[in-house]
């Protein structure tokens, strides 16, 4: 396995590839994304451990979307079963992905635990369990501090796990090593990832402005609230489609890296 260092402008290429690949198979990619969200939503409904279970499934579910993108980029129609690719590549791969998911859930819960030190756990409870968001709650200094602390801590956590599921699945890297390699790849290609993130943020803001302008021209400002939801879902689906390309261009596989059966899972 070799690490590729790419120029910052590659971040724009990843965004373009995500959009064009989504457009190639819009029904399949949007349907798989909705299944992805439904899977995590159902997991959160499990009593007592729902939030932790959803967090633990996130790496495997994200890998499923990456595998779907790989198929779509080849011109193939990704079937729904591809979403569970992480659990169809053999016992060893499945155990490794489950360990990775447990590590992600643990890291996220620790992150929320740290944020709870600043507001008594109000932000963590709202995020993990749900509840009503009130203006009074949001304006509390402790709540705002907890929110920013959680966001700040999530950046290194996301870098650790950004490439980890794909490294475990396609390169046969152990869960702990995958975190190290993922972090190093993100660190070396931080410029490209920054451009990637800023470009997606800019597209989302632009879409919001366009929807608002159209609603205003039609004389129905409330239309913006209704229309923005599906538009946002499509943009997020395109974003998840583009994640595969950030991995593909950051690593080069060698024959000994690919675990038996993983490359044939679809």
Instruction: Taking the CA atoms of 205, 208, 212 and 218 in sequence, report the sign of the dihedral they define.
Output: positive
pLDDT tens-digit series, residues 125-148: 998 887 888 888 989 999 999 999
Q: Can you read off the two tokens belonging to residue 45? A: 């409904």
Confidence check: pLDDT of 260 > 50? no
Backbone phi, psi, residue 48, to 5°? 70, -45
Pairing relationship of beta strands 251-252 and 2-3 according to DSSP bridges: antiparallel
pLDDT of residue 84: 93
Candidate from 104-108, 109-113, 252-256, 258-262 with smallest mean pLDDT: 258-262
pLDDT tens-digit series, residues 11-52: 999 999 999 999 999 999 999 999 999 999 999 998 888 999
Place of tokens 């920054």: 194
Q: Are 218 and 203 in contact (CB under 8 A)?
A: no
Confidence check: pLDDT of 265 > 80? no
Backbone phi, psi, residue 252, to 5°? -120, 125
Q: What is each CA distance from 97 to 69, 87, 141, 240, in whole angstroms?
A: 19, 8, 38, 19
Mean pLDDT of 145-155: 96
Confidence check: pLDDT of 171 > 80? yes
Rounded Cα gap, residues 77 and 70, in angstroms: 10
Rounded Cα gap, residues 202 and 132, in angstroms: 29
Query: Domain residues of the chain, as ranges?
Result: 2-258
Rounded percentage of the chain residues whose pLDDT exceeds 90: 78
Confidence check: pLDDT of 252 > 90? no
Q: Can you read off the two tokens belonging to residue 46? A: 């499990």
pLDDT tens-digit series, residues 86-119: 998 888 989 999 999 999 999 999 999 999 999 9
pLDDT tens-digit series, residues 50-69: 999 999 999 999 999 999 99
Q: What is each CA distance from 39 to 118, 168, 250, 261, in whole angstroms?
A: 32, 21, 28, 25
Confidence check: pLDDT of 257 > 80? no
Rounded Cα gap, residues 80 and 84, in angstroms: 8
What's 2's DSSP letter?
Answer: E
Mean pLDDT of 158-174: 96
What's 252's DSSP letter?
Answer: E
Q: What does the chain come to in residues?
A: 266
pLDDT classification of 253: cutoffs 50, 70, 90: low
Rounded Cα gap, residues 122 and 37, in angstroms: 25
Q: Can you read off the two tokens belonging to residue 174? A: 């152990």
pLDDT of residue 135: 85
What is the pTM (predicted TM-score) of this model?
Answer: 0.90
């Amino acid at each position: 396995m070799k690490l590729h260092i790419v120029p910052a402008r590659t971040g724009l290429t990843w965004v373009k590839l995500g959009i064009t690949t989504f457009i190639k198979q819009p029904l399949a990619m949007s349907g798989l994304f909705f299944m992805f969200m439904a899977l995590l939503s159902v997991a959160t409904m499990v009593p007592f451990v729902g939030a932790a279970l959803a967090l633990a499934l996130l790496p495997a579910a994200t890998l499923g979307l990456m595998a779907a993108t790989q198929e779509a980029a080849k011109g193939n129609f990704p079937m729904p079963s591809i979403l569970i690719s992480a659990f169809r590549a053999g016992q060893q791969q499945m155990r490794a992905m489950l360990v990775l998911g447990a590590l992600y859930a643990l890291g996220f819960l620790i992150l929320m635990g740290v944020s709870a030190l600043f507001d008594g756990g109000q932000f963590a409870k709202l995020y993990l369990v749900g509840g009503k968001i009130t203006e009074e709650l949001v304006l509390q200094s402790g709540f705002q501090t907890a929110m920013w602390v959680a966001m700040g801590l999530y950046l290194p956590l996301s870098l650790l796990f950004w490439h980890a599921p794909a490294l475990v699945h396609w390169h046969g890297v152990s869960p702990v090593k995958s975190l190290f390699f993922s972090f190093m790849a993100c660190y070396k290609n931080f410029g490209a990832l920054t451009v990637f993130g800023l470009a997606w943020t800019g597209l989302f803001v632009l879409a919001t402005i366009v929807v608002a302008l159209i609603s205003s021209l039609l004389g129905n400002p409330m239309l913006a609230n209704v229309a923005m939801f599906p538009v946002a879902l499509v943009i997020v689906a395109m974003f998840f489609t583009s994640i595969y390309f950030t991995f593909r261009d950051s690593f080069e596989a060698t024959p000994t890296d690919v675990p038996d059966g993983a490359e044939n899972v679809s």
